[in-house]
Copies of this chain bind each other. A is one copy, B any other.
């Protein structure tokens, strides 16, 4: 049994995490929010109070924290007495926060793989570069660390595990498909920090196929999917965290990640990239001013947090898992549909933040009640998915399956 949560970060996802923790503070206990700018934490707390999201009276506090400073993180853990850390800060801080959790024996969670700000797209499997090098120390100290527990990675890893265990005898492929069929009503905007968003697509696309790492470039491999609710959608093979753990746990299967992009996004991205406007290297204007083009692009684009009030439409994220059952080829699509407007009405964030922020709270509740308090480092597909998906059904992200027997709730 663990209680009291420290949320690290104060962006759109942190806003969702905080609201959901508040809605379940009878289970989770005290809620602390820490980021470099404590005013951003205060704004989240104001929003929780405004929506009366706290289930029971309890601690709700903001802290200024430099999460790159491991000792400062450990000190805040000790000062607040938290036993669970949900790290939804920048992926650059993952390892300093994890180290503080190992040092203090606190349960750790994050939603994205660690990144070194100076490197784009490291060697696969990505988890091997930082996270898994600390697995033995987690086991030795009994530290629970759940890696990548957002939606993708996170829920989609649980979907893969569910499909493989319950619907197949043997797995041959896992295709994760992430479609945002919503509309923000702007001519163009990224859904999160443009600098981080564009960074994701300027490197090599890794996939696991035929027992080997395959490399492609972004937008090189596209495929039109016909999906529930959102219909026909074009998606492109993209490098993504969960490909790296699923390929390690299911090396016999092809593992690919597909992200939906409209032609408009691709066109804008292509123009900016080909002109050199996505470069992180400074250029000099005719007047002699040194400027990083990507930072100017970020400056002219809409602030992603400004999109939520006007966002409409739905997301569809799921796993198409193929293999054999009773000797016959079988496939199942395990998925969730989320609605941008519903998310905004409930927690003041759009759907992209909502799908990423709800799952770590479900995981925190499973750590709190002991179900997922593993005392070691795991990726999500190494855990029992059923209590997790059951909880997600209850707190806003219901799971459905579609196969030869129809389209229905997963546990119908």
For A195, give the chain B residue with the smallest CB separation.
B286
* Bound form: Cα–Cα A284–B298 in Å: 10
Contact B271 A300 (CB under 8 A): no
Q: Determine if A279 is an interface residue (Cβ-Cβ < 8 Å).
A: yes
* Bound form: Cα–Cα A285–B271 in Å: 21
Contacts of A286 in B (CB 8 A): 195, 295, 298-299
Contacts of A271 in B (CB 8 A): 188, 267-268, 271-272
Contact flags A234-261 to B (C-beta < 8 A → 1, else 0): 0000000000000000000000000000
Between A187, A283, A300, the greatest number of chain B beta carbons within 10 A of the residue's beta carbon is seen for: A300
Q: A187-B274, A188-B275, A271-B268 are in contact. Are A287 and B297 (CB under 8 A)?
A: no
For A189, give the chain B residue with the smallest CB separation.
B275
Contact B276 A300 (CB under 8 A): yes
Least CB distance, A277 to chain B, in whole angstroms = 6
For A193, give the chain B residue with the smallest CB separation.
B286
Q: A268-B271, A271-B267 are in contact. Are A299 and B295 (CB under 8 A)?
A: no
Q: Determine if A293 is an interface residue (Cβ-Cβ < 8 Å).
A: yes
* Bound form: Cα–Cα A56–B284 in Å: 41
Q: Determine if A221 is an interface residue (Cβ-Cβ < 8 Å).
A: no
Contact B299 A275 (CB under 8 A): no
Chain A, 354-383, CB within 8 A of any chain B CB:
none
7 CB contacts below 8 A, A to B, read A188-B271, A188-B275, A267-B267, A275-B300, A285-B299, A289-B289, A291-B296
16 new A-B contacts at CB < 8 Å, known A188-B271, A272-B275, A285-B291:
A187-B275, A268-B271, A271-B272, A275-B297, A277-B277, A277-B300, A279-B300, A285-B296, A285-B298, A285-B299, A286-B299, A289-B295, A291-B296, A291-B299, A293-B296, A293-B299
Binding site for B on A (CB under 8 A): 187-188, 195, 267-268, 271-272, 274-277, 279, 283-287, 289, 291-293, 295-301
